[in-house]
Amino acid sequence: MTRTEHVALKGTREGLVIYFDPTADFELLMNELDKLLKNSVQFLQGATVRCYAGKKEYAEDEHVMLATVLSQHQLELAGWLTTEEVYVPGQTKSYATENKETRLWDEGMVEGSCLFVERTLRSGKSVEYEGHVIVLGDVNPGAEIIATGNIVVLGSLRGVAHAGATGERKASVSAYHLAPTQLRIADLVTRAPDEEAGGRGPEIARIKDDQLVVEAASMNGWRSKAR
């Protein structure tokens, strides 16, 4: 989750949600929202968002101001969330109840905030994040990533990677070249094999049957092996 003192932005299974402090002045909220989006919106452009402020209700001109701030950052206001319902501005007290128990989601879609690291992590560098971490580069030996969610490296992972750091065993670590000096998911840990791991292509490590398993892409689909 990305946040300021009174505004927070979070990715959920339903999409992006902006949380407002219902006790804060609306103008203050808009100022904080503008600053928050300037720092976060580069990878969110074109998305729709919904907002949540508890039981707080805003006037129509405030809805317009909010929509204007969002549009300046290429975002679209889709509606308002209450504890159990979605309120769509412009429809007088018109609510559409969500049934989260029966909603189906595509396999492989994972909820959570995400940190993009747009550089190679060199020796001595460390990234620790409450959520998922995506590295647009390599992770060199001596560098470290610790995430409560998944870790994705769009390059070579040769440093230390710890996914599911708070105990989430469904977390995973993936890389185009997966050869970490130490790989850890939740409470399970392993090291890279002695042989050179190059040439295998993209791989993903996860926990299966209480073992760290690496799945590598091949012409015949996915092949698995335990480390």
pLDDT at 71: 85
Banded model confidence at residue 173, pLDDT cuts 50, 70, 90: very high
Burial 122-147 (b: 16+ CB within 10 A, else e): eeebebebebbbbbeebbbeebbbbb
pLDDT surpassing 70 at residue 98: no
Residues with Cβ within 8 Å of 217's Cβ and at least 6 positions away in sequence, in order, are 201, 202, 203
Average pLDDT, integer, range 11-22 = 78
Give CA separation, 197 vs 67, 99, 176, 208, 214, in Å: 50, 46, 11, 21, 12
DSSP secondary structure letter of residue 55: T
Domain boundary among 97, 132, 153: 97
Number of domains present in the structure of the chain:
2
Residues with Cβ within 8 Å of 224's Cβ and at least 6 positions away in sequence, in order, are 208, 213, 214, 215
Domain assignment present for 105? no
Range with lowest mean pLDDT among 56-65, 90-99, 183-192? 90-99
Residues spanned by the domain of 160? 114-226
Q: Are residues 52 and 83 in the same domain?
A: yes
Asked whether the CA dihedral 223, 165, 167, 194 is positive or negative, the reply is: positive
- Cβ atoms of 176 and 197 within 8 Å: the answer is no
Domain assignment present for 107? no
Report d(CA 112, CA 147) in Å as an integer. Answer: 11
Average pLDDT, the chain: 77
Banded model confidence at residue 87, pLDDT cuts 50, 70, 90: very low
pLDDT digits (tens, 9 = 90+) for 177-206: 999 999 999 999 987 655 454 445 788 899
Banded model confidence at residue 45, pLDDT cuts 50, 70, 90: low
Tokens representing residue 37 in the block: 């989006």
Domain assignment present for 195? yes
DSSP secondary structure letter of residue 144: E
Query: In percent, how much of the chain has pLDDT > 90?
Result: 27
**Helix, strand, or coil (residue 31):** helix
pLDDT surpassing 90 at residue 125: yes
What is the pairing mode between strands 211-218 and 203-208? Answer: antiparallel
Domain assignment present for 103? no
Q: What number of helices (H) and strands (E) belong to the chain?
A: 2, 19
- Check which CATH number belongs to the domain holding 120 and give it: 2.160.20.70
Report d(CA 150, CA 114) in Å as an integer. Answer: 9
Question: 216: part of which helix (H) or strand (E)?
Answer: strand 211-218
Q: Are residues 130 and 204 in the same domain?
A: yes
Domain assignment present for 181? yes
